Amino acid sequence: MRFYINPHCDFGNGWKKWLRIEPALRRRYGNFKAEKIQSPENFEPQVQGALNEGENFFVAAGGDGTVHLLLNALLNLNSSKQEIIFGAVGLGSSNDFHKPFSPESYIEGIPVRLNPKNQVYCDVISVEHKNGKDRPDKSYCLINASVGITAEANALYNSRVPLIVRMKRFSNEGAIITSALMTIFRYKNIPCRLSLDNESSQKFNLTNLGVVKNPHFAGNLCYDTDVSPDDGNLGVNLSFDMAKLEAVRALVRLYKRKFNGYPKIYSWLAKELFLESERPIALEMDGEVVQASQVRFKILPRRLRCCR
């Protein structure tokens, strides 16, 4: 195993969590190498060194952003399509990659996915995105991606807004709800065109778009989309033309896992999705947020072996 540790996750508590769990991990899994992530910009050379040494079992020790960082490094570098095993230690605040949580997955109160004897081939979401005339960029997701309220609320949650910072000290779920409500009450629906599986595009005033492989996201929020890690489908959840109160009601339903079947909501399973907006908008990928005006989501079936 090669562990990559994000000491700054969970508002700076990641390193304390790692020190708590590391002795138990070594007792259970024996000797392994562990490295702090130096910086996102210099991370790929770290991973390349391990690949050059023949390592094939990589572990993201951090939050969902760390999962995203390691996934993208591996898929960008592993051009030979070497069989990679992917594991994780949930040192973050939400740890969506580990959901739904199970009691047996915890070590020292921290969720882990490290059992090499219990693996599943997981689909990966490929996200090609560009902003205006910029050259297209590509990222990969294991959990989910979003455009609209969820993406902008995620950006607000990760910001240094004093109210959000104070809320995080007392309740992570409270900070998530506060970020969502603040975003809803200042959000304006965005004119977009949406196309599924290369069919004719349709115009929507976008409130939110969730593209998921794991329906769990942002604390206790959860879609009721019937999608699984290895079924070869994207779970697509669209809400449109919503007034602010309607968006708040949709948020409440996400806490109850009752999203579908209401007005101004569509859900599909698809292999590919193209979105184009009239202006740059927030695009969130496994918790990481960028600006984009064109986004193409594609499914890469059974691309990675993940521990359960």
**Does a cis peptide bond (omega within 30 degrees of 0) precede residue 103?**
no
Burial of 282: CB neighbours in 10 Å, binned 0-12, 13-18, 19+: buried
Q: To which H or E segment does residue 289 belong?
A: strand 288-307
In contact, 295 and 129? CB cutoff 8 Å: yes
Q: Residue 80 pLDDT > 70, yes or no? A: no
Q: Residue 82 pLDDT > 80, yes or no? A: no
In contact, 302 and 123? CB cutoff 8 Å: yes
pLDDT (tens digit per residue) in 3-44? 999 999 988 899 999 999 999 999 999 999 999 998 888 999
Q: What's the average model confidence in pLDDT over 76-93?
A: 86
Write down the number of H helices and E strands in the chain.
8, 17
Q: What's the average model confidence in pLDDT over 232-247?
A: 97
How far apart, in whole angstroms, are the C-alpha atoms of residue 77 and residue 87?
17
pLDDT (tens digit per residue) in 150-174? 999 999 998 888 888 888 888 889 9
CB under 8 Å to 157, separation ≥6 — which residues?
164, 175, 176, 179, 218
Q: Residue 81 pLDDT > 70, yes or no? A: no
pLDDT (tens digit per residue) in 180-221? 999 999 999 999 999 999 899 999 999 999 999 999 998 899
Q: Residue 133 pLDDT > 80, yes or no? A: no
pLDDT (tens digit per residue) in 40-72? 889 999 999 999 999 999 999 999 999 999 999
Tell me what pLDDT residue 10 has. 87
The amino acid that residue 41 corresponds to is: E
Tell me what pLDDT residue 79 has. 58
In contact, 10 and 65? CB cutoff 8 Å: no
**Domains in the chain and their CATH numbers?**
2-117 (3.40.50.10330), 124-302 (2.60.200.40)
Q: Residue 121 pLDDT > 90, yes or no? A: yes
Q: What mean pLDDT, rounded, does the chain reach?
A: 93
- Give CA separation, 269 vs 33, 41, 217, 227, 236, in Å: 40, 34, 18, 8, 6
In contact, 60 and 69? CB cutoff 8 Å: yes
